[in-house]
Chain A
Amino acid sequence: DTAVSQTPKYLVTQMGNDKSIKCEQNLGHDTMYWYKQDSKKFLKIMFSYNNKELIINETVPNRFSPKSPDKAHLNLHINSLELGDSAVYFCASSRGQGNGNTIYFGEGSWLTVV
């Protein structure tokens, strides 16, 4: 059973397009995240939600809009895609707050903007 699943796994699209990546977790966790991994493998948080409420927004451009219809889902919509958006996007979840909580990651969505 996949704990954190995201789709699509691979996405190639043209500059200027709008695209979405969907994420679902079946762990019963309260907190979900989006992380971005750049071409040098560096990982950085973009957003986190706790029970559908935005908790963290790490100065991500407004073109990126997360949406959490319920606590098991956190989708990422990206408007007007740019070349620099090419990266791997990881969805993740954790039980809740507190630094001891383990964060579980999905398998990643490889986005290529051409």
Chain B
Amino acid sequence: GNSVTQMEGPVTLSEEAFLTINCTYTATGYPSLFWYVQYPGEGLQLLLKATKADDKGSNKGFEATYRKETTSFHLEKGSVQVSDSAVYFCALNSGSEKLVFGKGTKLTVNP
């Protein structure tokens, strides 16, 4: 079945540090890949997405590239801010009308 594996958290960084959150997937066919973010006490927001191999999704300084050869969609940001503290979810949709989520990675950015 389809599945998403993302790095275990929590991740704690200092402001302006480089962020990578690893995400790999297993899927049949050609899924679309997503990163969602959940700020404390809030709902899920779409951060970025990519729908085919080699696509790069980007938003708010975050980037992720759809790598079919390594079945990965790692999230990166060059310089994190305190306001980026949240839980980040990698997800895939393989056309079965549902998102399959990873377990989430909690990021804390300290000033």
Question: Do B97 and A90 touch across chains, with their CB atoms under 8 A apart?
Answer: no
Instruction: Please tell me if B80 contacts chain A, counting CB pairs below 8 Å.
Output: no
Does A101 lie within 8 Å of B93, measured CB to CB? Answer: yes
**B97 x A48 contact (CB < 8 A):** yes
Size of the chain B interface, CB-CB below 8 angstroms: 27
Q: Is B45 an interface residue (CB 8 A)?
A: yes
Residues in B with CB closer than 8 Å to A41 are: 38, 87, 103-104, 106
Any A CB within 8 A of the CB of B98:
yes
State how many residues of chain A have any CB contact under 8 Å with chain B: 28
By beta carbon, the residue of chain A nearest B106 is: A41
- Contact across chains for B103 and A42 when beta carbons are under 8 A apart: yes
With A41-B103, A43-B89 given, is the CB distance from A107 to B98 under 8 Å?
Answer: no
Complex: how many Å from CA A56 to CA B30? 20
Alpha-carbon distance A61/B69, docked complex (angstroms): 39
Determine whether the beta carbon of B98 is less than 8 Å from that of A33: yes
| The residue from A55, A90, A97, A103 contacting B43, defined by CB atoms under 8 A apart | A90
Q: Are B98 and A42 in contact (CB under 8 A)?
A: no
- 1/0 contact trace for B55-98 toward A, CB 8 Å? 00000000000000000000000000000000101000111111
What 1/0 mask marks residues of chain A from 71 to 114 whose CB sits below 8 Å from any chain B CB?
Answer: 00000000000000000001010000111111111111000000
Residue ranges of A at the interface with B (Cβ–Cβ < 8 Å) = 31, 33, 35, 40-45, 48, 50, 55-56, 58, 90, 92, 97-108
